[in-house]
Structure 1
């Protein structure tokens, strides 16, 4: 099949690499986000997927809006059979999806319909879930609400952070994606509608979410520290006004007021 791959974040890199190396299909185009200012000097920097794709010799399309007439025309010229979308960051309208006979599929790092929206990896850890996973779905008008092609669970360890879980789910997603593509190619797809009564919509995280509320339980605080590694990070303010960043915490038996320092050696 002729595949157009759309992605931006690092989560998408293993998926594109897997499709490229699979040998059964041809990646005829890659679409990503425009370069954005990054760092203290605000230097224009490509996103991880674009940087990887250019390193592999692709000429990457970076439209500000994927649904603009020029973008749609450029995609139509590629004559795609299938769109693959992984952490792209733009809503893809039906006029784009309809260009491909096999439509568009998305790799989402959660067990949909749970955790629709951005940051599903963080929210699974934040809520202390025992498991999460990856879902391969068709794109639909409603974000993350399309029919499920394949889904696989992943057990969450007590020491898992968003950083470690991101890398594991990106690999799992790439493996599951290849199986879904085979299903499409072989005409063996089983489409399962999501149960709307079980849908969990999540909001985008902000830097302020990293501020520790010491009135929460110790377990809840530890989950937040794990969930917010590496971003937005967890922090609190010391009595002298300095900001203390906290990257790891362990649960121990003890008694004291919220936020009280129990060991004066620290």
Structure 2
């Protein structure tokens, strides 16, 4: 089975290494030299050079020259794991076995953009890892392999990314022999499900009128390897990477956004819409005094 691999993020790198470990015949890799919008971007050139795999760096994967290069590798199947733009019909129809894509959610629910971030922002208790045969829709094709994953209360973007990666690598090990034997499932997605929209900068801004739990979910969703939640202070932007709920009783007469406490370690206690929350890891260069407002 001849495979052309498409990817450009850290998960792509781990998946490519797993395929090499399984001695899958990867005959070509399509990737990028850099990315301006993938916070988890990973350069696959070193892996390709180490494993002696032909590769091509692209910007627009659907350009005729790139389509021709993929076709010249004579693939039986394409794997597209970690690519942020849609593949057009010229690529989708190129290989006899089609194109296997990946989406870290329980399709048909939660199609679309930023599935790890939105799952945490919304406080979901579970998500999933889905490999599917790509069509011209977004995350709509028949399912090859799907597993459910519980989201722990203390999971953040980093830990959930790692858990999903490890689960996906197990799935790859499971379905590769099926594909090689040409005896594999193709399960149609049942129901329309929903699709998450692209996240904007405003989606990452903390509104102190939110509940403490909503703020905690936002912070853990956007922490490393992503861009971080933020609030504005003196017309500057402060990134928040970690926070913790305040267990004590908070005066309900205090307005949201007021700093009502500080610790010796430099942590700040801020009034929220329903209680208060500790900022325990943040990038503020100026010292904020108790009594000031973060608005």
Asked whether the two chains share a fold, i.e. TM above 0.5, the reply is yes
Maintained 8 Å contact 2:133/2:143: yes
Partner of 1:97: 92
Q: RMSD value over aligned CA atoms?
A: 2.2
SS across alignment from 1:171: helix
Verify: 1:127 aligned to 2:126, yes or no: no
Q: Is the 8 A contact 2:100 2:133 kept in 1?
A: yes
The residue aligned with 1:249 is 243
Q: 1:117 to 1:50 in 2, by over 3 A?
A: farther
Across the two proteins, how many residue pairs are aligned to each other?
256
Say whether residues 1:259 and 2:257 are aligned partners.
Answer: yes
Residues 128-167 of structure 1 aligned to structure 2 (within 5 Å)? 128-167=123-162
- Change over 3 Å in CA distance of 1:185–1:59 after alignment to 2: closer
Q: CA deviation at 1:49?
A: 3.1
In the alignment, the residues of structure 2 paired with residue 70 and residue 261 of structure 1 have an alpha-carbon distance, to the nearest angstrom, of 57
2:168 paired with 1:173 = yes
Structure with a larger share of its residues in helix = 1
Q: 2:178 aligns with which of 174, 179, 183?
A: 183
Q: Is structure 2 residue 2 aligned with structure 1 residue 2?
A: yes
Which of 66, 74, 77 in structure 2 is aligned with 1:79? 74
TM-superposed CA distance for 1:184, in Å, is 2.1
2:158–2:223 Cα contact (<8 Å) kept: yes
Instruction: Give unpaired runs (5+ residues) of structure 1.
Output: 39-45
Alignment partner of 2:209 out of 207, 212, 215: 215
- The 1:61–1:129 alpha-carbon spacing in structure 2 relative to 1, beyond 3 Å, is same
State the shift of 1:243 in Å. 3.9
Equivalent pair of 1:209/1:232 in contact (CA under 8 Å):
no
Structure 2: gaps spanning 5 or more residues: 269-295
Counterpart of 1:132 in 2: which secondary structure?
strand
Q: CA deviation at 1:78?
A: 0.8
Q: Is contact 1:81-1:102 (8 Å) kept?
A: yes
Could you say what secondary structure the match of 1:248 adopts? strand
Shift of 1:54: 3.7
* Contact preservation (8 Å) 1:12, 1:170: no
* Offset at residue 233 of structure 1 (A): 0.8
TM-score relative to the length of structure 2: 0.79
**Equivalent residue, structure 2, for 1:41:** none
- Structure 1 residue 150: deviation in Å? 0.9
Alignment partner for residue 194 of structure 1, among 189, 207, 212? 189
2:284 is aligned to none
Distance 1:236 1:51 in 2: 38
Q: Indicate conservation of the 8 Å contact 1:14/1:171, yes or no.
A: no
Q: Which one has a larger percent strand, Structure 1 or Structure 2?
A: 2
> Counterparts of 1:37 and 1:148 in 2: how far apart (Å)?
30
1:43 corresponds in structure 2 to none
Residue 67 of structure 1 deviates from its aligned partner by 2.5
Distance in 1 (alpha carbons) for counterparts of 2:190 and 2:201: 32
- Measure, in 2, the Cα distance between the counterparts of 1:247 and 1:128: 17
